[in-house]
Structure formats: structure tokens, C-alpha cells
Amino acid sequence: MKITVITACFNAEETLEDTLRSVLTQDHADLEYIVMDGGSTDGSLQILERYRTQLTHLVSAPDEGMYDAYNRGLQYATGDVVALLNADDMYANPQVLSLVAERFRQTCADAVYGDLVYVGRENPSQVLRYWRSGFYRRERFKFGWMPPHPAFFLRREAYQRYGGFDTRLQSAADYELMLRMLYKHGLAAGWVPEVLVRMRSGGKSNATLRNRLFANREDRQAWVLNQIKPLPFTLLLKPLRKLPQFLIKP
């Protein structure tokens, strides 16, 4: 099974190399790695040049944001499965892609997802939150559930059939995509009950109360765009589900 990993980056010199190494040290042999740089002006391109021979595609050009960069990267993808890894996230260990490929083989699912830990931005060995995804049931979306997007792997055929990211959304395009794929179109999903991704803290959508309120409005818009109706408390439960993540220990 061929897996395509796409990383979108822009002025990410402080964290980019950790991301690159975590992908390039994977023990899964059939790997395609695409990096979409938005025209960085810091040292990101110098870092990428050091790894150029190990990258399947490296594109550096202005884009309209992360989701636009991922849509462009999908045009280069040829793998059976596509993974999206931001430039400040890392795979938890070199066996991640092998575990994912095995779960696809076991379940014949359209998507596979795992667990994720939030780690300190300056100290990525410090675990701050543990996102334990749990088994997938379609109706869980109505109770605020979603899988962690950096640990979400989707067959390329699904992107071809149902489209990529909706760039009208600034912070919830990943939520909208998973809602569309899993809930609206009913694609089958399998869970790997292990930490697959270490995600640095400091995400934009949770940085301030104002950003969280904006993200919540976009979450609501994700349901509207798909012409499906959440329960009255769905979007309230979505941020509340994060609270236990601070209590779970890996």
C-alpha cells in the first residue's frame, strides 16, 4: 500500500526539520512525501533543500493558506492513502505508517485514524493533553466527536470522489472534510488505538476566546454546507469533549 504524506508549511524553520525527520524515518517502504511551501521568507527553504533528494515533490509558491496548499498537494498525490501532517507536528514513532497500512488491510476501511498528544511547543517531549479517539460510530459526530485531523488517513479515491478542503472556511475546513467524508457520505473508518502524532500546542483556533468563538461559528457552517442538521447541543459538546484530554495520561 502506497501512502502519500503531504506537509504544508510557511515560515516554519523552528519546527519543520522535526516534521521532515519524523516522516522520512518511517519504516513503511512505499512512501511518497510531498511538501508544499507557501513561499517562506525565513530559513524553511534552506532546510528543505537539505532534504530535497528524499522528497517526491517540493513546491514553493504563494498560496491562499494551509487548506489551499493541501488541495494543491493533493493534485500531486499518487498514493492509495493520503496523510496530512502540518509543519509543527510529528509522527510519534517510525512505525506509524506501517500500523496505519496494516489497519487498512485488516478493515478494508476508507479511513483510518489514531490518537494524538499535544506537546509543549519548546519541549515536544512534554505531553500536555491526550486525545484518545475511541471507536468510530457515525452518530458520535452529533455528540461533538471528531477524530484528530493530523492522525486521520483517507484513501485518495475519497478525495477524488468527494473533493478536498473547502477553502471558504479558515479554521474548520478539516472538521468539515471529516464530517463530509464520514458522516454525510458514510465512509467506513477504523481506529488505531495508539498515539500516532505528537502535535505542538498553540493552535490558532484555541489561542483566544475570540478565536474559539469564531471556530465554533465555522463548525456550525460545516454542517450547513453539507445540508445536515446537528443536534441543539452538538457544537457545545465539541469543545467540552476536550476537557477530559487534560486528565488522561499516556
pLDDT level of residue 203 (50, 70, 90 thresholds): low
Q: Is the pLDDT of residue 74 over 80?
A: yes
Q: Is the pLDDT of residue 119 over 70?
A: yes
pLDDT level of residue 247 (50, 70, 90 thresholds): confident
Classified as helix, coil or strand, 109 is coil
How high is the pLDDT of residue 215?
A: 79
Per the model's pLDDT, the better-predicted residue between 203 and 39 turns out to be 39
Q: Is the pLDDT of residue 90 over 70?
A: yes
Q: Is the pLDDT of residue 211 over 80?
A: no
Does this model's pTM top 0.75? yes
If you average pLDDT over every residue of the chain, what do you get? 93
Q: What is the mean pLDDT of residues 57-82?
A: 97
The CATH fold of domain 3-246: Spore Coat Polysaccharide Biosynthesis Protein SpsA; Chain A (3.90.550)
pLDDT in tens, 4-28: 999 999 999 999 999 999 999 999 9
Q: What is the mean pLDDT of residues 37-46?
A: 97
Q: Is the pLDDT of residue 110 over 60?
A: yes
Long-range contacts from 160-167, C-beta under 8 angstroms, 24+ separation:
164/70, 164/71, 164/74, 165/67, 165/68, 165/70, 165/71, 166/67, 166/225, 167/64, 167/65, 167/67, 167/68, 167/71
How high is the pLDDT of residue 242?
A: 82
How high is the pLDDT of residue 250?
A: 60
Q: What is the mean pLDDT of residues 68-89?
A: 98
Name the residue type at position 231: L
Q: Is the pLDDT of residue 208 over 70?
A: no
Q: Is the pLDDT of residue 209 over 60?
A: no
The DSSP element (H or E) to which 58 belongs, if any, is strand 57-60
Q: What is the mean pLDDT of residues 88-113?
A: 97
Q: What is the mean pLDDT of residues 220-225?
A: 96
Contacts of 230 (CB under 8 A, 6+ apart): 142, 220, 223
pLDDT in tens, 157-182: 999 999 999 999 999 999 999 999 99
Report the relative pairing of strands 189-200 and 111-119 from DSSP bridges: parallel
Classified as helix, coil or strand, 114 is strand
Q: Is the pLDDT of residue 207 over 60?
A: no
